[in-house]
């Protein structure tokens, strides 16, 4: 069996209390004793039992991360950012994927993280008011990405700004018929990002005196395939858009796929702008609104550290900037030709470098 603190105490000829103090580097231990303890621990290959330690101290050394997906690019980047900071401070990372509806419900009915984590990080989860309250009632610091929960720490980008920039970019290129592929679900339950972006889209259009047309908003649910369908829907309109703003790169990828499959091209036939600056956006030449993804994870973790160390009393809110990255899927509206001309292959040199690898 593994050695316990008692074994170490015996071997170093001190009490367990002293061992505990020596090992954790607390003051009021003489140098000689500390060394004796360290040596004994080393010789016995002693490792503290985290459970006993947590039980006695009330601290768990663990931070819970709850999120809707672990396998999507965005989330894995954020988790990587969180991990790098937490690990540097010897905090463990307990991952909780609430993507499945049943898992989500169970989570909030049983609160399995209660007393199990020192802090909580919530990534982009649609939560009801009751659920938010449940989180807060855990009495640990909570840092939230993308949503707003009263009393919690916050990191986010300026979604309105980012979306506006994207749409303005299209308008500046001369587009007037601009579609949006939204990520909204039926029941957003407080996950306001899609709402904010959609609102910005509408606002910018109206500021440019472009009439609002609900048909130009197609829901895509943040997935590639859904983005593809949304684009198909937009293209089937009697008067299809000449430019499309997809509020995630993944959906934009789907949109590009649809274009390719229909023998159309970006930006010749339709301009496409995404959101995120996904790692393959560059590959595809996608114009997009870049946000620093892993960095946001780091910031969340830092907030947690501040809260845990007491360095900072009141929860703070950090807003990180976005920036437009113009690549080759957006172009001047004048370049767009009437759609029917494009259904046959076109000869002639092509305008553009990147982005053409795309298989059709």
The residue ranges that bind DNA (CB under 7 A) are 1-2, 4-6, 13-18, 20-21, 23-24, 27-30, 32-34, 46-49, 52-53, 55-58
Does 342 sit near a copy of itself (CB under 8 A)?
A: no
Our CB check for DNA shows the closer of 300 and 307 to be 307
Does 80 sit near a copy of itself (CB under 8 A)?
A: yes
Does 16 sit near a copy of itself (CB under 8 A)?
A: no
CB atoms within 10 A of CB 12: 22
What are the angstrom distances between the C-alpha of 61 and each of 53, 89, 281, 305?
Answer: 10, 10, 37, 11
Question: Which of DNA, a copy of itself, none lies near 23, with the C-beta cut-off 5 to 8 A by kind?
Answer: DNA
Q: Can you tell me the distance from the alpha carbon of 181 to that of 251, in angstroms, rounded to the nearest whole number?
A: 7
Our CB check for a copy of itself shows the closer of 196 and 231 to be 231
**Shortest CA distance to 113 belongs to which of 151, 62, 68, 152?**
62
Least distance CB 208 / a copy of itself (angstroms): 27
Q: Can you tell me the distance from the alpha carbon of 250 to that of 230, in angstroms, rounded to the nearest whole number?
A: 12
Does 92 sit near a copy of itself (CB under 8 A)?
A: yes
Q: Can you tell me the distance from the alpha carbon of 205 to that of 68, in angstroms, rounded to the nearest whole number?
A: 31
Question: Which of DNA, a copy of itself, none lies near 328, with the C-beta cut-off 5 to 8 A by kind?
Answer: a copy of itself
What are the angstrom distances between the C-alpha of 25 and each of 10, 34, 37, 101, 343?
Answer: 19, 8, 11, 45, 73
Which of 111, 195, 308, 312 binds a copy of itself (CB under 8 A)? It is 111
What are the angstrom distances between the C-alpha of 316 and each of 81, 165, 300, 311?
Answer: 19, 26, 10, 12
Least distance CB 114 / DNA (angstroms): 10
Q: Can you tell me the distance from the alpha carbon of 332 to that of 247, in angstroms, rounded to the nearest whole number?
A: 20
Our CB check for a copy of itself shows the closer of 72 and 189 to be 72
Which of 6, 95, 129, 326 binds a copy of itself (CB under 8 A)? It is 95
Least distance CB 260 / a copy of itself (angstroms): 6
Least distance CB 110 / DNA (angstroms): 13
**Which DSSP category does 320 fall into?**
E
Which of 89, 115, 168, 176 binds a copy of itself (CB under 8 A)? It is 115
Strands (E), the chain: 62-67, 92-97, 119-123, 142-145, 153-157, 178-182, 217-219, 243-246, 271-276, 287-290, 317-320, 323-325
Least distance CB 20 / DNA (angstroms): 3
Least distance CB 310 / DNA (angstroms): 14
- Per-residue tokens: 63: 């931070």
Site for a copy of itself in 117-176 (CB under 8 A): none
177 three-class SS: coil
Site for a copy of itself in 214-243 (CB under 8 A): 224
Peptide bond preceding 267 in cis form (omega within 30 of 0): yes
Our CB check for DNA shows the closer of 50 and 351 to be 50
Question: Which of a copy of itself, DNA, none lies near 35, with the C-beta cut-off 5 to 8 A by kind?
Answer: none
Site for a copy of itself in 300-329 (CB under 8 A): 327-329
Does 112 sit near a copy of itself (CB under 8 A)?
A: yes
């Amino acid at each position: 069996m593994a050695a316990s603190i008692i074994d170490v105490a015996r071997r170093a000829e001190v009490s367990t209390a002293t061992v505990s103090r020596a090992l954790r580097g607390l003051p009021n231990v003489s140098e000689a004793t500390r060394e004796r303890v360290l040596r004994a621990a080393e010789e016995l290959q002693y490792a503290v039992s985290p459970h006993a330690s947590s039980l006695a101290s009330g601290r768990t050394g663990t931070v819970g991360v709850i999120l809707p997906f672990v396998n999507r690019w965005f989330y894995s980047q954020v988790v990587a950012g969180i991990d790098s900071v937490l690990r540097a401070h010897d905090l463990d990372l307990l991952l909780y994927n609430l993507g499945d509806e049943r898992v989500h419900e169970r989570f909030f009915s049983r609160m399995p993280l209660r007393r199990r984590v020192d802090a909580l990080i919530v990534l982009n989860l649609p939560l009801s008011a009751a659920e938010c309250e449940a989180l807060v009632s855990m009495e640990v610091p909570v840092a939230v990405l993308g949503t707003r929960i009263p009393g919690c720490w916050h990191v986010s980008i300026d979604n309105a700004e980012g979306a506006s920039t994207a749409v303005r970019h299209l308008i500046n290129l001369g587009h007037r018929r601009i579609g949006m592929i939204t990520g909204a679900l039926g029941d957003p339950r407080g996950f306001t990002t899609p709402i904010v972006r959609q609102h910005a889209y509408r606002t910018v259009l109206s500021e440019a005196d472009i009439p609002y047309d609900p048909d130009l908003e197609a829901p895509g649910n943040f997935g590639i395939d859904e983005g593809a369908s949304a684009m198909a829907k937009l293209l089937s309109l009697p008067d299809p858009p000449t430019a499309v703003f997809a509020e995630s790169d993944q959906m934009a990828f789907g949109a590009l796929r649809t274009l390719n499959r229909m023998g159309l091209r970006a930006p010749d036939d339709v301009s496409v702008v995404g959101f995120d600056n996904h790692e393959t956006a560059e590959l595809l030449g996608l114009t997009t609104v870049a946000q620093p993804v892993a960095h946001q994870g780091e910031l969340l973790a830092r907030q947690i550290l501040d809260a845990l160390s007491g360095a900072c009393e009141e929860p703070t809110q950090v807003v990180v900037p976005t920036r437009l990255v113009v690549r080759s899927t957006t172009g001047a509206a004048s370049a767009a030709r009437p759609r029917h001309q494009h259904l046959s292959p076109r000869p002639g040199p092509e305008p553009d470098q990147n982005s053409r690898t795309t298989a059709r």
